[in-house]
Amino acid sequence: MKIPNKLKVGGHEYKVQITKTYDEAKGYNNWGRTNHAKLKIYIDSEINQSKKEETFIHELLHTVDHHIGSILKEDQVNRISNSLYQVIKDNKLIR
């Protein structure tokens, strides 16, 4: 799957950055995060490609959730994004 450099969600253009997301001082290690105020999605550069792809879908789901106001919990986003990624990969929907 090609992770785009930018994408539109809810009429807003988000930039996608592959960068180091680990904060050693805080012991904070997420594979990705989204900043809705800055319209940025960050994906950790130090994880393998399949985890980057899965994380992109996860953060995309957070972004859509933010714009529709459904307020999914983190465990719900994890389950949906992991399942969606598996369906996409197993059925070769995106190459």
* Matching residue, tokens 């933010």: 66
pLDDT of residue 30: 83
The DSSP call for residue 47 is S
- Please give the share of the chain, as a percent, with pLDDT higher than 70: 92
Q: What is the mean pLDDT of residues 31-58?
A: 95
Q: What is the mean pLDDT of residues 60-85?
A: 95
Confidence tier at 25 by pLDDT (50, 70, 90): low
pLDDT of residue 75: 94
Decide if pLDDT at 37 tops 80.
yes
* Beta-carbon count within 10 A of 48 CB: 8
